[in-house]
Amino acid sequence: MMGLFYSRGEQMTDRTVKYSFDTLLIHGGLEPGPAGATTVPIVQSSSFAQATAEELEDIFRGRKVGQVYTRVGNPTTESLEKRLALLEGGQAAIATASGMAAITTAVMTIVRSGDEILASSSLFGGTFSLFRDTLSGYGISTTFVDPTDLAAVRNGINDRTRLVFVETIGNPKMDVPDIPAIALIARAAGIPLLVDATVTTPCLARGSDLGADIVIHSTSKFINGTGSAIGGVIIDLGRFDWQSDKFPHFEPFHKKYRAFAFTARARKLIHKDFGACAAPMNSFLLAEGVETLSLRMERHCANAQKLAQFLKAHDRVRWVNYPGLEDSPHHQVAKKLYGDKFGGVLTFGLADKAAAFRFINGVRLAKNLANIGDAKTLVIHPASTICCDYGPEEKGLMGVGEEMVRVSVGIEAINDIIEDFDSALNNL
């Protein structure tokens, strides 16, 4: 039995822990609801009353289990946290207001002024901006390296580096770093590996199998699955030893919470102080969404594979970037880590920006919007939208060209998706 860390600081064992992954998606952490309700109740309350002053003091001091205030913990959110922790093979989770809130909270739990981050150069635009533009103003600097170049990762770490941050499949670069190999490098350097697994989800590989120390998801994407809520989660795999000269600020948390030092410092300090908590209604929507994650990921991946092959054969398409294609430079690593599934996101190139715009204006089924992981097929021109604030050099690092279209392949019938793309391409 695995201990799970709860919002009030206690550990509990979960009787659902023995189930298979697909069963955990539905039952993990779910307690019977009032009147036999089978979905997690939406506890839409900001605060939680206790009968006596003594009880409230006990809860605040961590002597008794209970809720006090939704910014710190909420029963609906706690049920989601428990399930997501189980899915990754983790020991604890903190659900947050968004994926960016999860990344900010996790990183700020670890670093302090004067520290450095070693990050992948092909990050999601919001994360790139957080590291390069925001955190640099608070004395935290970031070195960006190509995460598929293991020597660059090794050489990028110095005495001040306090964490390594990578994405399982870079969004939108579609590069696939060898995470277990990077985990060994981070381990040898005595620093934790944080992995943003939004694009792959635990269906393609669990964080515990990849060797990550902390896994982060934007749950707004595949975990929600229908584009109905924004959310994020930080999952503590419990593998990293926080008792280290590099992390003196973890000392009091390690003393009291041992292997749970990271979650304790995050929950009791950074998450509480930054206040980017999950809303109970969103936690409910995310708990509903995650139930069908396996089924949806199978279809997302199968459809993306077929669409990638169709695009590759189309004479208007200059190139296709999808790790599922055998001639992708990332195919072998992706196959090793993720088996026969390569995710639901791909990019392709047309003649130029004008052609990319004509294509996006020409599709009827696919929606033109800034999201991934929706059941619906989505297209976007990253250079003019999600990456519009970056210059040519940064766009190059992120693998974003003017001619590029990003597709989040939905779970519609593949013949309808292909017909939609074919007709828009033929009318360019």
Which residues sit at the interface with ligand PLP, rule CB under 6 A? 98-100, 124, 126-127, 167, 171, 196, 198-199, 218, 220-221, 230, 232, 372
Residue type, 395: K
Residue type, 364: R
Question: Nearest approach, Cβ of 372 to ligand PLP (angstroms)?
Answer: 6
Nearer Cβ to ligand PLP, position 219 or 328? 219
Contacts of 28 (CB under 8 A, 6+ apart): 14, 16, 19, 82, 83, 86, 87
Q: Are 181 and 211 in contact (CB under 8 A)?
A: no
| Cα separation, 119 vs 107, whole angstroms | 11
Nearer Cβ to ligand PLP, position 86 or 97? 97
| Cα separation, 208 vs 297, whole angstroms | 19
| Cα separation, 164 vs 302, whole angstroms | 31
Question: Nearest approach, Cβ of 79 to ligand PLP (angstroms)?
Answer: 20
Q: What residue is closest to ligand PLP based on CB? A: 99
Question: Nearest approach, Cβ of 5 to ligand PLP (angstroms)?
Answer: 23
Nearer Cβ to ligand PLP, position 9 or 125? 125
Question: Nearest approach, Cβ of 407 to ligand PLP (angstroms)?
Answer: 14
φ/ψ of 145, rounded to 5, equals: -135, 160
Question: Nearest approach, Cβ of 100 to ligand PLP (angstroms)?
Answer: 4
Nearer Cβ to ligand PLP, position 263 or 408? 408
Q: Are 157 and 164 in contact (CB under 8 A)?
A: yes
Nearer Cβ to ligand PLP, position 3 or 126? 126
E-state strands within 130-266: 141-145, 161-167, 193-196, 214-218, 232-236
Question: Nearest approach, Cβ of 305 to ligand PLP (angstroms)?
Answer: 20
Nearer Cβ to ligand PLP, position 74 or 104? 104
